[in-house]
Every structure is written in structure tokens, then in C-alpha cells.
Chain A
């Protein structure tokens, strides 16, 4: 009987009751509510967008000036096409380059230069999109224009280069190049991290078996980093899909569906369309634009979910983790 208090004291320190102190309760409580706040905020984002976007879907299409006599889906479809088209083109250009740069930094460049280069890439990933837009509109578009004329003159039998060439160079291809330049540092930064995480023992084993450097990269670095590479690409794709200003400042859009890359008649993207139309929008037009934003949100959500699914599926086989 006499040693019961001691036992209780022991139970108190060893058991869970140590976390019942008021300081602990306040601290863990505020940490938990901060986490819950994030969930509430995301729910609010979806809810408010739905509430504000719904009137455009419910309204009589003829009442919404932006729709121009069509219904919501007919209006938004070319924008969805433009968004996916521009992002896909950008990724097509940026992805191979980004992987090559990442490989250059991680496996080809001398060690001392590599660190600096990695830092420069990180810095470029942080350059604001409005700066890319300004550069794209004022420098890149005029610089690319002659090559569009050349393409239209010589390769017009290919549907992509049907022409007639845009006189200003503000085409969907220019916009895609700007998007590509923007996502390049992002994809590079992530895949460089992934490549650097390749277990050195695997690399050395491969080299010891007589591989050349390229064979080592092909058989060890790329397979081990595959999940990371895919997630890097998806991250870039998500960024390109949602990018607004770089497109709005570069593209002269007419909102049509075409695969012609170099003419002055171009599809627009959801984000650029919102940015260009929103400041002057009123009434139901605002709701229509918000609804299109909701669709953009849904698209990026799907892309990111696919990326996460791929990464999780690969994680089991990857040696990096």
C-alpha cells in the first residue's frame, strides 16, 4: 500500500498524462487548429468559387455577354483546348532540355561550376512571371517573327505551320516558348535534386562493370529517378497550365481552336482570358469567368493527382528513398 503513490508517479511520467499540462494543451491545440484552418480554407476556396461560378451555368446563355450566343460549355471549350495545347507544347520543348541541363549539372559539369549553376537555376525559377511576359512580348516575339515567315513560306504543307505568318510574332508558339523558358528552371531544379540522390554505390557498381558514363546514366540514374522526373514534369505542367501573365502579355488571342502555330489567329488560355477580361467584366460575365477558373482548378487538380499517383506507385521501386 505504501508504495502506491510512487507507482502512480511513475505511471504519470511514463504514461500519456505528461502531455496534459496546460502549456501542452494550448500548444497542441493551436497547432491542430492551424492544420484544420488549412482544410477549412481549401473548402472555402472550392465553395466560394462554386457559389460565384454557378450563376453563369444556371443563367440563360443569352444574358451573358461574354458567351456571344453560345452556352457556357461551347464558350469554355476553346479555352480549355488552348490551355492544354500551350502547356503541352511548352512541356514538349522544356522537358528534354530540362532533363539534359539537370544531367549536365549533376553528372557532366565540374563540381565547382555545378554548385554555382544549380544556384543560378534556382534563382531563375524565382523570377516573377510578369518579367518573363515582358521579355516574351518585347524581345522574343519580334525575334521569332522572321522564322515564322520562313516556316510559312517553306513548310506550309505541315498543318502546324500553315500560316499566314503573324506579322508581330505574338503566336501560340511564342507563348509556348515563353512558358517553356519559365518551367525549364522548375523542372531542372527538381530533377537535378533527384539525380543527385542516386545512390553513389549503384553508380560506382555500374562504372565498375565497364559502363561508359552515358550507359551508367541510362541504366542507373534515369531508372532510379524516374518517379522524381515524372513528378518534376507534372509540376512544370501544372505551372504551365495555370500561368497567366506570360501568356496574356505575349499572345494575341482570338479564342479559336486551331493547331496552326504561327498565324495571328490563336486559341487563348483560361488563365490569360480571365486576366484580360476580368478587370472590365461586370454582372454575369464575372460569374462566367469565375466558372472558367473553377474548370482550370479542376484540370490542375487532375494533373497533380495523376503525378502524385505515379510518384507513389514508383516510390516502392525507387532506390532514392
Chain B
């Protein structure tokens, strides 16, 4: 009686030979050591201060690793699998390369920003400040006022336009025009928006006019297309059955939109609006052109120049006074504040989208 269990191990003939998993970790370690050796051997003789650049070692190590894996895979697994492995390594490497500057950006902003991230920074203006001290409160007030004013115009206009596009305008010529020109507006460079606002107020109020409302006008030009786009997308997601059910109950169209369509999509629309605000709150160029800069508090949109937080960062960097350290510290603190604001707006937007999303099907 033959023992079934002593039969030779079944080999899956459809499955090719693959490299064992430990091969990759061993190769990775070998590649890094090899790369390090290359740099130690090749170091210029007699140069005591020569330091090995870790980034270069890592890059050469990755190249060696990719080559080794490719060759081994080519010998063992065949050409197609080898190319697949190479592509995987390249994609992952590209990801790591791209991560480096972004991580460096965040790290430097946080480490340099916390130096002046204090109470003074949020309560004082730059009035009569030369060198150390002072703060960006006036810039934050300016940013807040101008962004609010821009939103107060852009949100209703943008929302109504998207309602027109989705609910009223299907197939009409005006719809095509609006869609096309909203596309065009999305591509307006921010500095051109600033030049527009400046031109507008120069014609209205005379040459050299730089006021807060002009900055708001520039931001409005940039914000409207973003709001239209995102709200339009959200309104289109509302299922037609909901509208038809409402019409069937005899509800007029405008009430259907107001009571059925908008409440269904309000989470998405709010998210879109918050992201649009996050986008324009960091705009520097248009405000540089249209609203100018100042060292004082200014609560009046219609008079005098108005400072904004991005411009505060810009001017602290380009116009470093006799004590550059103080100006740079303020610039970094301003940058940190900006990133935090944008982050909070983004997180809030996601949270709203997540919590208030209508529970439709599933």
C-alpha cells in the first residue's frame, strides 16, 4: 500500500520560479553597503574635511539595488517579471524622491516658525517696529476682512450660477458660454487678477489706489470659478428621483431646489466653499498688486492699504532690515500660521463632507 503522503511534492506548473522574499532585503542591505564603500574609496585623498553626502549614498544605493534586482529577476524569473519589478522600484523611488522636498518644507516651516509663534505675534502690529518684536495681527485682520468680503460676493454668485447651470440651463446657449468662460477663469493667473482689480480701481478712484476692497475684488475673480465648479459637481450628484418625487407632490421648482436639492448637497457644497477659501486665503500676488502693504491695523475696506498674512511673509523675507534674524523669524511664523489655517480649513472641509454626507443607498 503506497503512502499518499510520501508522494513527491506537487509542483504548480503554472507558477514560474520566483525570487524568495529574503532576496530583496539582503540585496537592499548589500546595495547600501556597496554604495557607501564606493564613496569611501573614491573620497579625495588628503581632504580631511570631506564629508560623505548621505543623500548621494542613498541615491546610488537605490540605483545599485534596482540593477541587482533587475539582473537577478531577469536570470530567474524572465524578462516580463524583471520589467515589472523594475517599474515597481522606480515608482516607489519616485515617490520617495518627491517626498523629500515636501517633508523638508514642512519640517523647516515648523521648526523655524515656532520661534516667534507667541502671543505677541498674534496681538501686535508692526507699527513703529524696527528689528525684534512686533507681530502679524494687523496682517491677520486684513486677511480675514478681505477674504470674508471676497467670500460674501463669490459664494452667492458662484452658488446661484451653479444652480443655473444644473437646474435651469441644460441645453441653453448661455450655459455653454458660462461653462466655457468659467473654464477660462479657472486659468487666470492670480497676478493677472490683481492687475485687473488694480486697473478697475484706478479707473474708478484714480491712479495708485490701493485699498482692501480692491484686494477682495481680485480674490473674487479667483474664487468664483472654484465655487462654481465644485458646487456644480455636487448639485449634479443629487439623484433626479428626488427632484421628480418633489415635482410629483406639486412642489414648485424653486422650492424643490431650495428644500430638496440644496439640503441634499449642502455638505459637498460647504466642503467646496471651504476649499475655495483655503485656496484664496494664501494668495499673495493679487493682494501685493491691489491692496499694497502696511504696518498698521486697518479695519476699513474702503480706505488705505491693507496688509495680509501672505504679504506679511513676503515683505518680511524680501525687506529684511538691519536685523535680518528678527524679520526671518516673523516670516517663518507667518508661514506656519498660514499652513495651519489652510490645514484647519481642509480638515474641517473633509470632516463636514464626512459627517453630513447624505446617506444615500448602501
Contact = CB atoms under 8 A, between A and B. Distances in A.
Contacts of B156: 34
Interface string B172-203: 00110110011111111111110110111011
Interface string A271-308: 10011001100100010011001101100110110001
A215 interface: yes
Nearest to B207: A286
B94 A242 contact: no
A26 to B, nearest CB: 8
Nearest to A25: B254
Interface in A57-100: 96-98, 100
A108 B88 contact: yes
B98 A48 contact: no
Given A23-B252, A34-B160, A42-B184, A249 B343 contact: no
Interface string B250-282: 101111011000000000000000010011011
Contacts of A19: 252-253
Nearest to A128: B282
B50 interface: no
A185 B98 CA distance: 9
A39 B285 contact: no
Given A184-B98, A249-B317, A279-B292, A304 B191 contact: no
B211 interface: no
B346 interface: yes
Contacts of B190: 242, 244
B164 interface: yes
A300 B189 contact: yes
Contacts of A108: 88, 91-92
A126 B94 contact: no
Nearest to A124: B102
A101 B192 CA distance: 31
B168 A31 contact: yes
Contacts of A31: 160-161, 163-164, 167-168
Contact of A100 (B90, B167, B198, B221): B90
Contacts of B191: 242, 244, 271, 274-275, 293, 296
A217 B165 CA distance: 36
A254 interface: no
B195 A49 contact: yes
Contact of B285 (A28, A177, A215, A244): A244
Interface range, B side = 35 or more
B146 interface: no
B285 A245 contact: yes
A269 to B, nearest CB: 10
A232 interface: no
B84 A214 contact: yes
Contacts of B345: 126
Contacts, number: 269
Interface string B278-316: 110111110011001100000000000000001101100
Nearest to A143: B104
Given A212-B84, A304-B187, A130 B284 contact: yes
Contacts of A48: 196, 199-200, 203
30 contacts: A24-B252, A27-B257, A31-B164, A34-B160, A35-B175, A36-B174, A38-B178, A39-B181, A45-B188, A98-B98, A100-B98, A104-B91, A124-B102, A126-B282, A128-B281, A128-B338, A130-B311, A131-B105, A131-B338, A138-B108, A139-B108, A184-B98, A185-B102, A213-B84, A242-B192, A245-B314, A271-B189, A271-B285, A275-B191, A297-B189
Given A31-B167, A35-B164, A130-B314, 20 more contacts: A27-B253, A28-B254, A31-B168, A34-B160, A36-B174, A41-B221, A42-B181, A45-B192, A97-B97, A100-B94, A104-B91, A131-B338, A133-B317, A213-B87, A238-B189, A274-B195, A274-B285, A286-B202, A296-B191, A300-B192
Q: What are the 8 tightest A-B residue pairs by CB atom distance, in nearest-first order?
A: A242-B189, A128-B282, A100-B94, A34-B160, A27-B254, A212-B84, A31-B164, A244-B285
Interface of B: 80-81, 83-84, 87-88, 90-92, 94-95, 97-98, 101-102, 104-105, 108-109, 156-161, 163-165, 167-169, 174-175, 177-178, 181-193, 195-196, 198-200, 202-203, 207-208, 221, 224, 228, 250, 252-255, 257-258, 275, 278-279, 281-285, 288-289, 292-293, 310-311, 313-314, 317-318, 328, 331-332, 335, 338-339, 342-343, 345-346, 350
